[in-house]
Structure 1
Amino acid sequence: MTQAFARRTQTEIFRAGASGTAPRIPTRWPSLLAAAERAMSPEAWAYVHGSSGLESTADANAEAFARWRIVPRVLRDVSDRELGVTLFGHRYPTPLLASPVGVLELVDRDADLAIARAAASWGVPVILSNQASIPMERVAAEGGGGPRWFQLYWSSSDELVASLVARAEGIGVDALVVTLDTQLLGWRPRDLDQAYLPFIHGMGIAQYTSDPVFRRLVAERMAAAPAPGAPRPRVTPAALRTLIGMTRRYPGRFAANLRSGEPRVAVETFLDVFSRSDLNWEDLPALRSLTSLPIVLKGIQHPDDARRALDAGMDGLIVSNHAGRQLDGAIASLDALPGVVAAVDGRAPVLFDSGVRGGADVFRAMALGAAAVCVGRPWVYGMSIAGEGGAREALRNLIAEFDLTLALSGHRSVAELSSDALVRD
């Protein structure tokens, strides 16, 4: 992506304003947050915006960016700029990737398709979530034809892992992203205070209910005798609403699903197989044997883990703390980035995730050694306000501000960026 993207974007906004058309979503971060909160249900806002514990990790992510100040250079020709990056042999027009965000139906019924299409319009790779509300095959067919990666949560079922990886290969993804920091669900007070976990309502499990291995696990569970003394759910109006909701979301005919009870069993099966808390380094060769795709480990924070991942044959890393949603008190991702980059020492690309709010944040992460930057909440907030168009605008705004930051700091391409462009405040 070249030729003054920022200037074109600003000109389009101002010309539209002269005709009385304002942007779909606010460009100021506080205004975007406020508008998104108004647009979402309390349960959706708690799930999307909430972080773990005291939310100190989310705060630390933002504070870490504020500690790095950009040092602009002047009298440099920045009239023509190149924003593109190359990852695993693929050239992308910007350094952005759309992070995997689960249970997007909380925000928009067609959200998984919407972000795929919005990202495709800018050539931004979308990392399809393992916890999607629409199966990956449908997104591949209807999602705009842009570049795709796939996020894998390592299930306790090895057969299910193999099936998900094979399906991801089948839809032509460029890379496999393995999220490692959610072997247990973090302590998230906003969700706990709502007593609301969307998965229990049958949300965000479309990759599972569309999977032949998972459907077989459900069938086996239905055929097995109930465990002696197994608790039976209380019949309450809320329980009935939950049952009806999960039944409507489940593939197949509503009446048949309601009679069979399969949707409820599928939710129980999902809760049992979703994560694997005994996962360790010795398991990586098994995943490597399943695919020739580049494997990128997401959730790396320590230099020793970075070195060990590469020694195990992994192809790339994403420095991430799950945007503060998992471990309260964890190191800010930006603070972890330089140490991981130094440990990798050019052996593989190191991507960045967590806490990005604007284009200047993208610039900082790239200057500190990130090969590309993953963003999630900004486009989710945009989508909550204005659907696919809002997500598209959020990505556009990030690209435009990054392009402008690149130019105003005296740089013409991401390849020119280094820590010399920053000073620690």
Structure 2
Amino acid sequence: MVPGGRAREVERGARDVLDPVHFDYLAGGAGDERTLTGNEDAFARRRLVPRVLRGPGPVDLSTDLPGVRLAAPVVVAPTAFHRLAHRDGEAATAAGVAAAGGLLTVSTMATTAVEGIAATGAALWFQLYVQPDRAFTAALVARAEAAGCRALVLTVDSPVRGRHGRDERHGFTELPPGVVCENLRAADGRVRDLVVDPDLGWDAVAWLRGRTTLPVLVKGVLHPADARLAVEHGVDGIVVSNHGGRQLDGAVSTLDALPAVVEAVAGRVPVLLDGGVRSGVDALVALALGADAVMLGRPVLWGLALGGADGVRAVLEDLTDELAHAMALVGAHRPADLTPDLVTVP
């Protein structure tokens, strides 16, 4: 089955075909899931105030981001364990992204090695956890660069792992047999455990820059003071993210955090929004409030579960088509034409 239409329909379809334990891992959030639901609720609160008689002409969604020019300002977010959703895992996701002309952010916790994902021809970024074993982290960076990834996305919101109530209720602590995190496979063939570094500081950006020529974005910024620090430390982009509601329950929604971060950055580097985007209209709202692009996470997994590569392609094409249609209706020709005055909270 190849999905189409609304994100909720695709999610319901994925729930029907996935193991309930695996669905809950992919769908769930931290604690009581207030932040998980809050990300979507923040979009639901917004309304559009379209302009008329502006003759926008054909809509042009093309967007420049670190290391890549995209046909639309939509990036597939890093998510773990795609083989829980489909037997071909991240290889199928990447094939679908390539067919849609998009960009995939490969997770450190992917169940397909970055080299295999790159073989699909998809444009890639690589999401990185800096681990206490810096030599192993540096080797992983080298693998991502050699595979052709165009930027590194440093996750900075995980000094400890989030607590997921659904997983605890299911007792879900291990991946199925034969499913492992291939990017954590060491030179000796052993798959290492991910160890997050609780002492990670801003010096990690300089350390990372000393080991790669790739652009470096930081993902997990919510506070405007951290956005200013990120720019001061030389990052090439910022992703406003609360880890999809999977880390700190009760954290501010990403859409609510976005305007202050955009103001703090003041156009010096691109700002992306991750969390709660479920439609092209949602993407339009985020762009109008200052994001240069949005990241799309769970809907891609639901498309993968239902239709493999074709499902991923369909989800991305549906969303970008809706974005272009909505832009025409608010009187915008390019993403740069979208401004905060087009969005209100009744």
Q: Same fold (TM over 0.5)?
A: yes
Among residues 32, 52, 56, which one is paired with 1:74 in the alignment?
52
What is the aligned-residue RMSD (CA, Å)? 1.6
Among residues 7, 24, 32, which one is paired with 1:54 in the alignment?
32
Tell me how many residue pairs correspond in the alignment.
346
Query: Is 2:135 the counterpart of 1:129?
Result: no
TM-score (normalizing by structure 1): 0.78
Q: Which residue is equivalent to 2:87?
A: 109
TM-score (normalizing by structure 2): 0.96
Residues 3-402 of structure 1: pairs in structure 2 closer than 5 A: 24-88=2-66, 90-141=68-119, 143=120, 145-199=121-175, 203-209=179-185, 211-212=186-187, 215=188, 218=190, 266=191, 269-270=192-193, 273-402=194-323
4+ residue runs of structure 1 moved beyond 4 angstroms? 199-202
CA contact (8 A) 1:366 1:417 kept: yes
Structure 1: unaligned runs, 5 residues or longer:
1-22, 219-265
Q: Which residue is equivalent to 1:230?
A: none
For the residues of structure 2 that align with 1:170 and 1:122, how far apart are their CA atoms? 24
Could you say if the C-alpha distance between residues 185 and 172 of structure 1 is closer, same or farther in structure 2, counting changes exceeding 3 Å? same
For the residues of structure 1 that align with 2:180 and 2:239, how far apart are their CA atoms? 23
Larger Rg: 1
For the residues of structure 2 that align with 1:28 and 1:323, how far apart are their CA atoms? 19
1:387 Cα shift?
1.5
1:153 Cα shift?
1.3
For the residues of structure 2 that align with 1:299 and 1:166, how far apart are their CA atoms? 23
Seq. identity, %: 39
- Alignment deviations for residues 315-344 of structure 1 (CA, whole Å, 9 cap, x no partner): 110000111111110000000100000000
For the residues of structure 2 that align with 1:72 and 1:163, how far apart are their CA atoms? 49
1:89 Cα shift?
5.3
| SS of alignment partner, residue 290 of structure 1 | coil
1:353 Cα shift?
0.3
For the residues of structure 2 that align with 1:393 and 1:366, how far apart are their CA atoms? 22
1:204 Cα shift?
4.1
1:97 Cα shift?
0.5
1:202 Cα shift?
6.3
CA contact (8 A) 2:94 2:309 kept: no
Instruction: Letter of the 1:158 partner, please give it.
Output: R
1:206 Cα shift?
0.5
For the residues of structure 1 that align with 2:200 and 2:330, how far apart are their CA atoms? 44
1:26 Cα shift?
4.5
Per mean C-alpha deviation after superposition, the further-off stretch among 344-353 and 177-186 is 177-186
